[in-house]
Amino acid sequence: MSVVRWTFRLIFWLIVATVVLWPAPASMGSVLIGHPDVDVWNHAWGYWFVPHSLASFQVPFSTELIGLPDGGDLYFIDFIGALLGAPLAWLFGPAVAYNGVMLLRVALAGLAGQFLAEKVLGRGPHCVVSGFALVSLPFLLCEMSNGISEVVAIHWIPWTLAAAHQAWNHPSKKRWIQVGVLFGLTAAANFYYGLVTGMLLAVWGIVKFFPLLRKGARPTRDVLVGPAQGVGVAMLVSLPFWLAFQWTLHSANALIVRPKEFAVGWVLSHNAVDPRTYFVPGSFQSVDLSTYGEAFVHTGYLRWTVIVLAVVGVWKNARLRPWLWAGVASLVFGLGPILYWGEWLKIGGHAISLPFYWAQLLLPDVAITHPLRLSIGGQIVLGLLAAAGAARLKWRSVSLLAGVLIMVESLTISPGPWPVPTSDASVPEVYSTIPAGPVLDLPGSVGATMATSRYFWYQTQHEHPIPYSPNVRLDSCRDLEVQSAFTDPHLRESKHQVLEHPARGPDLYQKALARRYKAIVLHKDLEERAQLKSAYRPVLESVFGPPDVDGDISVWMLDGSP
């Protein structure tokens, strides 16, 4: 493989990725890729937290910076991305690191798609179709809008598939070890993607080997030893990441706790997948989360330009059918455990179970709350098959045009938002005036949004401890005195969410905050959006007097210490 050739290709895909993410690449240090009401703040914070911990010679799995008063254990879910972005964070700040890794991952998706097509189909202009299909996935547009950075790292999957294809056709110990390394990194980057990759390879291998079994062939030791080596290497590569994640998840001082009944009930309906998401353009959503007051968007839209080319590719090349079956399996598992069509479909009063449900029974300890992510394998395979279809066009030089048409459909009529929303990465200047010590930002919540998670991002500037844990809401605050000071002890909005009511909290607890915090920061714009039962300002003034800093952000300087 020519390094120069692939370097120029990476530059090409970086240019395409810049178009996909525009205008964010023009403001790498002043915006964050992602909608301000969702996950972007938590994920961008990790691009500061991990490099900050490493620079301080601290293990980045425990911290006292969040979850005051005790801190806790936390595995940043996009740990590999944060490691990759660490040099950028040290040199240019976490905003550039976060946006830079997002831009690189989108470009690598295009490059990996082209690479997979070349290995499976052979070199030619048709291979760029697979790259265009992946670089502009509506699924990625949605997840970038959601600010969920680790989900953007899809490039590991086609790299692993390409390596497996090479090892199958030209087996050697070195090639199977390469498969194992890539497979392990895929699982480490995103557990869902490790699961998807294993599923794709299993179905692909079974379908390829089945005709030989029918002819009486039996797998020999020489045939099995290579894949076994690959799986072993994959487990060794991913094991440290998995153990760190499990330790922080089950730690007595874990910062992220998900009650099982909450995940099974609410998350199941929240993340239901309607089969129409694969085929309906426009603004279609399996579940319109705006009715919950949230800005999350999800889609598995496959695009009709890709589907048509893929049909041609499989029709003209029967050798690609194992890939087709692997992709279909991924898409079916992406529908989740129960068939959903605007509502849960039932026959005779019973829900219609899908293969995902039966797989969960075999893997009861595996919490998969976002089944649509399991469809990413089918989306990647469909891009490969579309490249095969483009190879059958009479004028193969029009492959670039076919790729552009795929991209146009993705950016214009798919449910994926484009331009991708961005958030303001600036930090209010007032934080620079706060002396070293814990900071309490208020309000604690803005409805069902994650708007208050920006307090995590503000910490990247002031670097002082805060009481919140991901995701920032008053009921995720680890300082129970804060909850007691500003919530109604007799009312709850739901089983899992306290009612933020500043005037109903006993002043005994409110006064106690002066012993722990150096500053209380009130964000007026968020308070107005929160539509609280009572305003914070009169309550805080009655206890602490007028603010030391006034304006759009009010600050009360206190004498507290950790």
- pLDDT tier for residue 440 given thresholds of 50, 70 and 90: very high
**Average predicted confidence (pLDDT) for the chain:** 90
- pLDDT tier for residue 263 given thresholds of 50, 70 and 90: very low
Instruction: Give yes or no for a contact between 495 and 414, defined as CB atoms under 8 angstroms apart.
Output: no
CB atoms within 10 A of CB 475: 16
Task: Please check the confidence at residue 219 and state whether its pLDDT lies above 80.
Answer: no
Q: Within the chain, what is the greatest distance between any pair of CA atoms?
A: 86
Give the tens place of pLDDT for each residue, 311-327: 999 998 889 999 999 99
Residue 262 is predicted with a pLDDT of 45
What is 98-117 written as a DSSP string? Answer: HHHHHHHHHHHHHHHHHHHH
- How far apart CA 148 and CA 314 sit, in angstroms, is 33
CB atoms within 10 A of CB 363: 10
Q: Write out the H or E segment, with its range, that includes residue 334.
A: none
Residue 252 is predicted with a pLDDT of 87
Q: Which of 114, 81, 153, 83 has the alpha carbon at shortest distance from 1?
A: 114
- pLDDT tier for residue 332 given thresholds of 50, 70 and 90: very high
Q: Which of 302-316, 330-344, 389-403 is predicted with the least confidence, judged by mean pLDDT?
A: 389-403
Prior bond of 435 cis (ω within 30°)? no
> How far is residue 314 from each of residues 85, 318, 325, 376, 403, measured CA to CA in Å?
39, 6, 11, 19, 18
Prior bond of 364 cis (ω within 30°)? no
Instruction: Give yes or no for a contact between 188 and 82, defined as CB atoms under 8 angstroms apart.
Output: no
Please give the radius of gyration of the chain, using alpha carbons only, rounded to the nearest integer: 25
Give the tens place of pLDDT for each residue, 33-52: 999 999 999 999 999 999 99
- How far apart CA 492 and CA 482 sit, in angstroms, is 16
- pLDDT tier for residue 160 given thresholds of 50, 70 and 90: very high
For 368-405, give one letter per residue: b (16+ CB within 10 A) or e. Answer: bebbbbbbbbbbbbbbbbbbbbbbebeeeeebeebbbb
Task: Please check the confidence at residue 562 and state whether its pLDDT lies above 60.
Answer: no
Instruction: Give yes or no for a contact between 120 and 327, defined as CB atoms under 8 angstroms apart.
Output: no
Task: Please check the confidence at residue 496 and state whether its pLDDT lies above 60.
Answer: no
Residue 528 is predicted with a pLDDT of 92
Residue 473 is predicted with a pLDDT of 78
Threshold 0.75, pTM exceeds: yes
Give the tens place of pLDDT for each residue, 396-437: 678 889 999 999 999 999 999 999 999 999 999 999 989 889
Q: Which of 189-193, 195-199, 366-370, 382-386 is predicted with the least confidence, judged by mean pLDDT?
A: 366-370
Token readout for 502 is 């500043």
Residue 357 is predicted with a pLDDT of 84
Residue 439 is predicted with a pLDDT of 95
Residue 245: CB partners within 8 Å, gap ≥ 6? 75, 191
- How far apart CA 218 and CA 38 sit, in angstroms, is 52
